[in-house]
Amino acid sequence: MKQSRHDKIAAMRAEQQQRAARKRNLTLTTTVIGVFVIVLAAFFLINRPGEGPSGPQLVRADSHRLQTAADGKVTLVEFLDFECEGCRAYFPVVEELRKEYAGKVTFIARYFPISSHYNAERAARAVEAAARQGQFEGMYKLMYERQTDWAEQRVPADHVFRGYAEQLKLDVAAWDRAYQDPATLARVKQDADDGLALGVEGTPTFFLNGQKIQPRSAEEFKAAIDAALNA
């Protein structure tokens, strides 16, 4: 009888130990799975294409908006070079589209200075320096309207751009500092880097709701925008 009772006690202890071991294993497994899920989620959050802090983005929070549509349904992004003759040719077309689609389409301008254009990067810095004082659009327009004053020359056009800052009645000393600030150049290069990663090879390059388009006329431009608005 004593032996039988002893065996029962031993069996109960063994069963309790097995239960405890199973509970520890279950807890460990649950913890490992939880950690794995968290790590996996973090990986996808960090590496989402076009949305991570280091990934290319078509539109960033600091991208320059020439005008904004309240519903956000249609967005036209242009990668441009102020020394580019093609961009100058499209400038009046874009201005007309802005008037026709005011309140319906968001227009965004992004820098993409071509290295073979001697003053293109300087022009972008000049516009960005003006943007620091809320005059992005004013300087943007002057660059195209006066392009023949400074483009296709192999000498720095700094003094020309400074004259534009004076014409816009900016704080010229502050504009000078911003023009020379490495952060201004970094801002320009951020746009250009995004453009390269998104497949931009020349200027002007347009993206309508994320899709690259190559309109050959104002009519083609309008047709593409109308299709996007009616989608």
Question: What count of other Cβ atoms lies within 10 Å of the Cβ of residue 3?
Answer: 7
* b/e code 201-230 from CB counts within 10 Å (16+ = b): eebbbbbbbeeeeebeeeeebbebbeebee
**CA 75, CA 57: separation in Å to the nearest integer?**
14
The DSSP letter of residue 215 is -
> What is the pLDDT at residue 185?
98
Residue 112 has pLDDT above 80, yes or no: yes
> What is the pLDDT at residue 55?
82
Instruction: Specify which residues 79 forms β-bridges with.
Output: 110, 205
Could you please report the per-residue DSSP string of 133-170?
A: TT-HHHHHHHHHHTHHHHTT-SS--HHHHHHHHHHTT-
**CA 63, CA 26: separation in Å to the nearest integer?**
50
Q: Which residues contact 93 (CB under 8 A, 6 or more apart)?
A: 218, 221
Write down the mean pLDDT value for the chain.
86
Place 17 in a pLDDT band, splitting at 50, 70 and 90.
Answer: low
Give 45-101 pLDDT, tens digit per residue. 333 333 445 589 999 999 999 999 999 999 999 999 999 999 999 999 999 999 999
The whole-model pTM stands at 0.77
